[in-house]
Amino acid sequence: MTKEAQIGVIGSGAMGTGIAQVAAMAGHNVVLYDNNTAALEKAKTGLSATFQKLQEKGKIESAAELLSRFSFAATTQTFAGCSLIIEAIVEKLEVKKNVFGEVEQVVGGDCILASNTSSLSITSIAAACSKPERVMGLHFFNPAPLMALVEIIPAIQTEPGLIAIARELMLQWGKLPVLAKDTPGFIVNRIARPFYGEAIRIYEEGIAGIGAIDKVMTEKGGFRMGPFTLMDYIGHDVNYVVTETVFQAFFYDPRYKPSFSQKRLLEAGWLGRKTGRGFYNYAQNAAVTDNITDMNTAGHTMERILAMLINEAVDALYLGVATVADIETAMTKGVNYPKGLLQWCDDWGASNCLAVLDGLYEKYHEDRYRASPLLRKHAAGNKKFV
């Protein structure tokens, strides 16, 4: 697909606008559509300000020229000349299916239709179209202009040749594409669930406090943000909904079970940083959270969360969700983990990771802590993943 190809983006929120910016800066003309004209105007103003800042920093030659590549549309009819449409709207399956069905009536027969969904079934979305073979997932990470990773997710109906086209296009856009099987959460949002869920479980059991868990994961684990800080940053309206969606999509597998603690924050409207309150209180002079007093407890906390993360990565490999290389790339570039989880398993030792999981299973007798057969196999044979 050349730079002459016109790109359409559905949804002018932060994600859609970010994807549109990436496409425009790669040389494409872009149609940004939203049925909310106020949201469209806000997106136009935001893009203009962004381009102006980039021009002032010498990163682009002309903000005006870049903005001129955009068409801001309140009707889907403007998609008629597009070669690729990327949908980035609310995470509701029926809404997405309806939009895809509507857009398909407008675009040409060879136009590729892609969803930016983070956890919904691409196969189900494709089934809403008369030509499901041209539908696929292109999952960007927020903020799209800064985050390199893009998950490419073919539906079972997707024409195989589209994978290579999508991969080449993402490379042209300066992105790092990885290929994921169409399973709930794909790579990143599947494997990352224990970073949040197990941290909350430890907190709910009173083993360690919010501040202590965050501190050990950043200072000892090397993560850029602790799980509670990150959940507040993402927003509980996003993070909790992804957890709930993945849990339901996996037929209520206890490994992905949501928590009441996070659901109550969502119900209260305490969505994190954007509302000034989440797991933390962001008001001025708010009380400081607890500090670590018992480093043994802190160390065990990190091992417990890390073992769960590694097990998810190993199981994703075992079930053919992605390759070793793509799993490692996804977790280091999509959520900025300090190193790939499979490499981490090699460094720690599969047998050590397995011992933590088996210890948790013995303690709780919950299927949540079942070890992947592939992890058990590597532990028994002292094998490496990377």
- 3-state secondary structure at position 183: coil
Domain boundaries, the chain: 7-179, 189-381
User: Is-catalytic flag, 139?
Assistant: yes
Pair of tokens at residue 168: 């080449």
pLDDT digits (tens, 9 = 90+) for 119-147: 899 999 999 999 999 999 999 999 999 99
The whole-number pLDDT of residue 293 equals 55
Nearest to 68 by CA among 77, 60, 76: 60
> Which residue in 83, 121, 189, 311 is the catalytic one?
189
> Which residue in 104, 151, 198, 303 is the catalytic one?
151
Whether 158 contacts 294, CB under 8 Å: no
Domain at 189-381, CATH class: mainly alpha
Per-residue burial over 75-113, b if 16 or more Cβ lie within 10 Å, else e, is ebebbeebbbbbbbbeeeeeebbebbeebbebbeeebbb
The whole-number pLDDT of residue 285 equals 75
- From the CB of residue 339, how many other CB atoms can be counted at a distance below 10 Å? 13
The whole-number pLDDT of residue 310 equals 98
Distance CA 52, CA 59 (A): 10
The whole-number pLDDT of residue 70 equals 97
Distance CA 218, CA 183 (A): 30
The whole-number pLDDT of residue 287 equals 66
Distance CA 375, CA 330 (A): 20
The whole-number pLDDT of residue 286 equals 72
Q: Could you check whether 7-179 and 189-381 share the same CATH topology?
A: no
Distance CA 87, CA 16 (A): 7
> Which residue in 139, 239, 312, 378 is the catalytic one?
139
7-179 architecture in CATH? 3-Layer(aba) Sandwich (3.40)
Average pLDDT of adjacent 10-residue blocks, the chain of 386 residues: 94 96 97 95 96 95 95 94 96 95 95 95 97 98 96 98 98 98 97 98 92 92 96 95 94 97 98 96 75 64 96 98 98 96 98 98 97 98 96
Phi/psi for 59 (5° steps) reads -85, -20
Beta strands in the chain (DSSP E): 7-10, 30-33, 70-73, 84-87, 112-115, 135-140, 149-154, 176-179
Phi/psi for 7 (5° steps) reads -110, 135
Distance CA 244, CA 259 (A): 9
User: Is-catalytic flag, 35?
Assistant: no
Tell how strand 112-115 and strand 176-179 pair up. Answer: unpaired
User: Is-catalytic flag, 87?
Assistant: no
Q: How many CA atoms lie within 13 A of 28 on its CB side?
A: 26
User: Is-catalytic flag, 151?
Assistant: yes
- Sheet with strand 149-154: strands edge to edge: 70-73, 30-33, 7-10, 84-87, 112-115, 135-140, 149-154, 176-179
The whole-number pLDDT of residue 284 equals 80
Distance CA 68, CA 77 (A): 20
Q: How many CA atoms lie within 13 A of 81 on its CB side?
A: 10
The whole-number pLDDT of residue 1 equals 86
Radius of gyration, alpha carbons of the chain: 22
